Amino acid sequence: MVDMEHVTVYTASSVPAAASHPAINSLQWTEDGQLLFLTKIAVYILTPDLGVNCCSASEVATTQLKEGGPRANTLGWFRTVLELDRRSFHHWPSESQDWDSLVTGSLDVSIKSVVASPSFLSADAGCILAVITTNLELSLWGSVKNQLDGQWGQGIRLQDAVSLLRSLAVIRTDDRLQQTLQTQVVCSSWSRQPDFGAIPACICDGSLLAIGNRAGSILLLKFTAESGSDQCLEHVQTVDVSEQWITHLTWLPWTNAGENECVAMLVHCTSDGAVGLVKVTRKCHMESRGSEYGPGLVLETSVNRSQLSICKADDRIIMGLSFVETRDMEPIVVVLRPGVVQLWAEERDGSAWSGLLSFHLHSQGISSGSSMLYPPSGVVYSPEHDTLVLSLIDGSFHVIYDISSAPSSSLLGSTKIPYFSSGLSSISRRVFMHIEGDVITHAEMNRIYGMVSFGGFPMVNWAHERSLSSDFSYKHEARHSKTLVLTKIHAEDSDKVVLEMLADVIATAKACTIGTIAPGTAPIHTLRPILFRLVQGGVLTRLHSRFLQALRRSASESHLEIAIPPLIFTSSASPRPLFRTSIVRQLFGDDTLLRIRLKLAIADFCWRLSSSPENRNEFGTVARDLMSAISHRVLGILVQHIDFVAHLLTRDDLPFVLRVIIQCMLPGVPQELSVKAQRLADKVTAFFPPAGHETVSNGSRELCPACHVEVPLTDVTLATCSNGHRWPRCSVTSFILSTTKVQTCLGCARKALLPVARSRYEQESGTELSSGEGGSKLAVAGDSSSVGDSITENVRTIERGWIVQELLKAVRRCIFCGNNFAILV
DSSP letters, 563-599, are --PPP---TTS-SHHHHHHHHHHHHHS-HHHHHHHHH
CA triplet 387, 392, 398: central angle to 5 degrees? Answer: 30
* Distance of alpha carbon 357 from alpha carbon 406, whole angstroms: 10
Is there a cis peptide before residue 670, judged by omega within 30 degrees of 0?
no
In a domain, 794, yes or no: yes
Contact predicate 580/806, CB 8 Å:
yes
* Distance of alpha carbon 142 from alpha carbon 147, whole angstroms: 8
Do 735 and 812 have their domain in common?
A: yes
In a domain, 101, yes or no: no
Do 709 and 803 have their domain in common?
A: yes
Contact predicate 678/696, CB 8 Å:
no
In a domain, 604, yes or no: yes
Q: Which segments of 454-556 are extended strands (E)?
A: 459-468, 482-488
* Number of domains the chain contains: 2
Q: How far is CA 460 from CA 66, 486, 488, 529, 536, in A?
A: 21, 6, 6, 11, 16
In a domain, 6, yes or no: no
Q: Looking at residue 759, what is its pLDDT?
A: 36
- Per DSSP, the three-state class of 677 is helix
In a domain, 509, yes or no: yes
Do 511 and 644 have their domain in common?
A: yes
Please give the DSSP secondary-structure letter assigned to residue 390.
Answer: E
Residues 17-36 as b/e (b if ≥16 CB within 10 A, e otherwise) read bbbbebbbbbbbbbbbbbbb
Contact predicate 368/358, CB 8 Å:
no
In a domain, 786, yes or no: yes
Please give the DSSP secondary-structure letter assigned to residue 441.
Answer: P
* Distance of alpha carbon 629 from alpha carbon 631, whole angstroms: 5
Contact predicate 236/620, CB 8 Å:
no
Q: Looking at residue 59, what is its pLDDT?
A: 53
Do 633 and 707 have their domain in common?
A: no
* Distance of alpha carbon 473 from alpha carbon 666, whole angstroms: 74
Q: Looking at residue 407, what is its pLDDT?
A: 93
The phi and psi torsions of 598 (rounded to 5 degrees) equal: -65, -40
For residue 771, give the nearest of 736, 808, 729 by alpha carbon. 808
- Given 615, 649, 683, which residue is the final one in a domain? 649
Q: Looking at residue 329, what is its pLDDT?
A: 81
Q: How far is CA 401 from CA 53, 120, 152, 384, in A?
A: 40, 36, 40, 11
Do 635 and 699 have their domain in common?
A: no
- Given 620, 649, 678, which residue is the final one in a domain? 649
In a domain, 714, yes or no: yes
- Given 622, 649, 676, which residue is the final one in a domain? 649
Do 603 and 738 have their domain in common?
A: no
In a domain, 817, yes or no: yes
Do 573 and 508 have their domain in common?
A: yes
| C-alpha torsion 560→565→566→572, nearest 10 | -140
Say what the pTM is.
Answer: 0.91
Q: How many beta carbons lie within 10 A of that of residue 722, not counting itself?
A: 11
Do 603 and 715 have their domain in common?
A: no
Residues of the chain falling short of pLDDT 50: 1-4, 64, 66-71, 154-156, 227-229, 289-293, 513-516, 693, 695-696, 757-792
Do 726 and 790 have their domain in common?
A: yes
Do 635 and 707 have their domain in common?
A: no
Do 623 and 499 have their domain in common?
A: yes
Do 629 and 509 have their domain in common?
A: yes
Contact predicate 407/330, CB 8 Å:
no
Contact predicate 240/182, CB 8 Å:
no
Domain housing 511: 494-649
